[in-house]
Each structure stands twice: as C-alpha cells, then as structure tokens.
Amino acid sequence: MYTCFSQSLAAFIFLFCSLLSVPASARTLFIDFNNAEREIAVFKQSQLGVASEVVVVPSYQRITRKQRLHIVKVNEAIEAFTVKLQDCAVAIKRDAKCDGYYDKIYSLEQEREKTTGYYSADDLKKELLALLEDKNAIPFNMVVISGHHEQGFYRGELTDAKVKEFVDMMDESRPLYSKVNTVVFLGCETGTKAVYKNTLQSMFPDVPVILASEDNAPTRNEARNLAYIKQVMAIRPKLLAAKSVKEVQPLFQSLLARHWPASLLWKQNVVFLKDSTELLVEPVL
C-alpha cells in the first residue's frame, strides 16, 4: 500500500511540475494565404488545459469574416467553371457555351481580388511589421503557414507571395519568432529535403520542430487534414521534449498514420520523411 501511495504521489508531483512548465498562455501566429477558417479553429482549441491565442494575418480587420465567406463562394464558382472547361476540352462536340467559361473565370477572379481589397504580399509584410510594434503580440510560441506551394509561390484565396518575398519578410520580422519552438506548414511540397535545406533552415534557423508536407497535402477542410492538425498539437510537447531520434520516430509515424504526407525537420538537422530518416547536413569527417 505504501508503494502504491508513493507511486501516486510521485506521479502527482511529476504532473504538477509538468503543468508548471507549460506557459500560462500559448500564442500562435497563423499566416493565412488560404482562407483556412477550419484550420484556424483547430489551432485555437485548448491544449493541455492551456488556451491557444491565435493571431491571424491577414487580419480580420483587413479582410473580414463576411468577406472571407464571400471569397469561399467565389472560389467554389471558379472551381465549377474550371470543371466545365475540362469537360469542354475532351468533348467530341464543343458546346458554344465553352468559350464563355474563360470570361466567367476571369470575372470571378477579379471579384475575388476586389473582395480582398487587392491584398498583396506587401500588405502581408506591413501587417507582420506592425506586430513588432504591438507589445502584446510577441513573442509567439508557434507559427502556422496555410497555403498552396507551387511554381515559386505561396498562394491561396486571400493573397500570394513569391517564395523569396516570403523569406525576406520573415527575415525582416525576425523578432516575432525569437521564442518560436514549432513551425507548421500546411501546403503541398513545403517539406521536401531540398526545401528544408535551401529555404526553411535559413527562414527559421533556431526552431527545433518544423513540420511540413513531403508531397501533395490534403485540402484545408478535409477530415484527414483537420485530424492531422489535432495530432500535431497532441504530440507537440513530446516532440519538443524528445532527446533522441528513437523517441521522435514513433511520434512522426503517428502523423503519417493520419494519411497526411508529413515530414519533419527536427533540431535543424534530422529530416524525417515517409521512407527514410536522414541528416540534412552530413558531418564533416
């Protein structure tokens, strides 16, 4: 009985100390190229009893929720006309309406840009720099970037930026990330070994956990995407506390089990990919 009591007391002390080590609040900077309301909602959920405050850029002052909802509808219309164009391309007998679909898509794209207020990469940069002046905004514990990654751009429904533009604005707003311990990229091919080595390692040089996608990522509202985000949040404390590759490996496998093509740069040099675990930079002999 004494042994059971001692074990229970030890467990209680360990839990109490663990809770003390958790910050009183968690702050996340969510850079939202992609109009990803449901992803933002998951990151706002409490973790380990700690409410996560999420600061979204573009801010809701610049692009309101009403505008964002309208942009969703416009984008759905664009996708519908795109499907019709694809049908036109393979049709044996071309419908006369096909020629008008390009004009419809162009018009809708103009409407989407007008709804965002023509929000540009320069506007995104200005908002990030403005956060430097907000004493309540920093430091952040985590950064999340949601958007497509293709042809040298990060892009989505709200805005886009060339990779170099994005890297430069991250560098100019560097003090925002002085306490960041986790970065999460939610976009296709954001976490190949080449991207880690050529872009992300210099973009976030001191962050011990950088999660991204080795291949094509699921769309923002897919159930497996939201389940993946929840799993990231669940294992994040263990990833940060891990001391060895052996400890990280099962945690990484739990992400792959969500059918999301996860990859991980751990401690700035160990890359976890679907089929291998490698050093980003081989040691000099």
Who wins on pLDDT, 36 or 137?
36
Model confidence pLDDT, tens digit, residues 131-141: 998 877 668 99
What rounded mean pLDDT belongs to the chain?
A: 87
Q: With contact defined as beta carbons under 8 Å apart, do 212 and 200 qualify?
A: yes
Q: Give the CA radius of gyration of the chain.
A: 22
The DSSP bridge pattern shows strands 209-213 and 182-186 to be parallel
Mean pLDDT over 266-284 rounds to: 89
The helix (run of H) or strand (run of E) holding residue 142 is strand 142-146
* Other residues' Cβ atoms within 10 Å of the Cβ of residue 220: 22
The owner of tokens 């994005």 is 166
For the domain covering 24-63+120-279, report its CATH number: 3.40.50
Q: What is the pTM of this model?
A: 0.85
DSSP 258: T
- Model confidence pLDDT, tens digit, residues 245-258: 999 999 999 999 99
Amino acid 51: pLDDT: 59
Domain ranges of the chain: 24-63+120-279, 67-115
CA nearest to 222, candidates 258, 257, 255: 258
Question: pLDDT digits over 187-203, tens only?
Answer: 999 999 999 999 999 99
pLDDT band at 1 (very low <50, low <70, confident <90, very high): very low
d(CA 20, CA 134): 27
pLDDT in tens, 98-124: 888 889 999 999 999 999 999 999 999
